[in-house]
Structure 1
């Protein structure tokens, strides 16, 4: 049914804990998913072997050593054994409701892009997946400790295998490329489905010490600037507010509050993200 692919950071210290939490949660989804870890960072091969998932080592990088999504997406399409693909950041825990959402939309007679907001939460230790009610425990923990992330950043993308076969050479984990995915879908008349209402997508908070060349304590750096150069016009910086469909407990519904035809609002959101120093990417 589903192939999940990602590009982990080195498995060191706290990042190691949260990435292992995330990938372990994917292995527990039902029906079982194909999982592909891309890259040659420290610990990736060992985690792939430990959790019984696929590992593809050789991927293209820029001069900073950051993986390029263009190469990873191309290889994911070539290697995937399932008809639906999902790129997800390696610090994201997924619950069973994620599969439920995909089941609802997988029968659509056309291409689609499923995205959604995440819940930000501090998790500093390995999660206990050995208990039967680990997902309920997670929900209980989120009720107390988590907060919803603004719609400016996206951490996962679900799409049929015959779409997004070629994307520009964006640097992973840097600003802008997630916004381009939504813009590109809308430009090509691919429905963008916001699944926030029916999914609990969990981002485990972390610092950004792994991102080199940051300007001060913001998320601005040369790689983010290059991503934005690839995108070009700032009006192409779409957010989840540009999703034209909502996935609700009752099914798909039109997003009557979409900002698709409000370029001024899009520009305002873009500038706001610049000012606060975008922290939506990994």
Structure 2
């Protein structure tokens, strides 16, 4: 049976430079055959050199966007990115509990590539307590996993798996521990589910343009979950897509700092 084109919602912040956040999510959705809808939780003044300002809307307006989307559009998967503060985290969690989307991918965005805080420190507890239990998949990098667990960052793959299991015990149904911060020649990720653990090997791509990698991976997974038979297949295909987007990123000429990955490398 032919599957319908999936409708995928991103709940995240806007990157005015176009490399991360809502903009990266919508590009990844489109590149992978999904229709993208969006709920904007923050506006950032941002380019390839860094973030210069952040504006957050009233949580009630975030809820109004969520209700408008869910009241009219069949949503097959949700990706959650930057949420900025605890009030918005709670507002999003309350709306998701009401609307009950089929799949939720939670990317715990805390720090930008340029080391700018994108989540208020006091909001980490709200993410852990309110959103983790709603996530079908959590996709933290190693510092984010450590912040959620209040523990030092993992420095090897065994510790990555242990921390992934600990995050599952906090409520997430599956966890993808991303190994980009390991001091290793490659960049392995670990998918931890009820059915067991799976290592996803991957090369460490030596390119300058890595802006938006976390946003792109999580949104790619959200786009592919409705199109694949299981979560592991969606994650593996999303990782392969991101690797290609990194490898081809130097074909783009965007800004003077850390540029974006090439979301449409298969078509341009």
Fold equivalence (TM over 0.5)? no
Greater percentage in helix: 2
